[in-house]
Amino acid sequence: MAAATRQRLIDAGVRRFYRDGFRNVGIDQILNDVGISKTAFYKHFECKDDLMLAVLETQNEWLQSTFHDLIRERGGDTPLGQLRAVLDVVERIIESEEFQGCIFVNAAMEFPLLHEPAHIAAAGNKRAIEAIVHDLAARAGANDPRLLAEELCLIFEGAYVTRQVTGNRQTIEIARRLAERSISANIPPAAQVRETWDGAGV
């Protein structure tokens, strides 16, 4: 029961903080959503900041899991296919009806000081995603996996922000074109041909 209540608080926090902002949401709003008292809340979290960090950690775990699952589902068995499929994850996020930007970018903007816990959590997520992309780039045969990962992640971040600010529904197609140029420039043609043959089961 305690674990279930804690999870309900985190779920409510995800919805509220993502939609309305971290600073704009008070504990009372979360409590009303969950239907518990402040006394019950303090059995699970010492303060609102603790709940915020739990929300960011939960979203970090979800996003990493989604990246891993969706790139395998959409990208097939080859690292290059999976690398290209990372844009499918970005598309899934920005085309969601609930899309309000990247929750980690939002957190970093609301807590801009580098030493603030929420900012540290946001930066940690960005490093984790870049590590996933770096691993794919290395396995796909990129000349400079770190460079390719940095370029692709910058494209992702641009897609999140552009879609949120402008509402441009062509954002994902623009991001795909830029990502494909970066991949083609950083992965030798021989490696791309080898991946094509491997993916065909030859």
pLDDT of residue 201: 46
Residue for token pair 């580098």: 114
Quick one: which H or E segment has residue 198? helix 189-199
- Closest to 42 (Cα-Cα) out of 26, 27, 57, 24: 27
Name the DSSP class of 188: -
- Give the pLDDT of residue 3: 82
Query: Which parts of the chain sit beneath pLDDT 70?
Result: 1-2, 190-202
* pLDDT tens figures, 126-157: 999 999 999 999 999 999 999 999 999 999 99
State whether 29 and 83 are in the same domain: no
Question: b/e map of 114-129 (b: 16 or more CB within 10 Å)?
Answer: eeeebbbbbeebbeeb
CA distance 156 to 176: 9
Residues 21 and 60 in one domain: no
Contacts for 60-69: CB closer than 8 Å, 24+ residues apart: 60/104, 60/121, 60/124, 60/125, 60/128, 63/125, 63/129, 64/128, 64/129, 64/132, 66/92, 67/129, 67/132, 68/132
CA 135 to chain centre: 16
How many domains does the chain divide into? 2
CB 134 within 8 A of CB 149: yes
Residues 182, 112 share a domain: yes
Structure tokens at 110: 């609301």
Residues 52, 40 share a domain: no
Judgement on whether residues 154 and 92 belong to the same structural domain of the protein: yes
Verify that 95 and 128 share a domain, yes or no: yes
Q: Identify whether residues 83 and 138 lie together within a single domain.
A: yes
CATH number at residue 14: 1.10.10
Give me the amino acid identity at 142. Answer: A
DSSP-based helix, strand, coil % in the chain, nearest 5: 75, 0, 25
Do both 38 and 119 map to the same domain?
Answer: no
- Assess whether 2 and 62 both reside in one domain: no
Domain that holds residue 6: 1-45
What DSSP assignment string belongs to 143-174? SSHHHHHHHHHHHHHHHHHHHHHH--TTHHHH
Tell whether 90 and 149 lie within a shared domain.
yes
CATH of the domain at 132: 1.10.357.10
Same domain, 53 and 90: yes
User: According to the model, what pLDDT value does residue 198 have?
Assistant: 46
Is the same domain home to 54 and 33? no
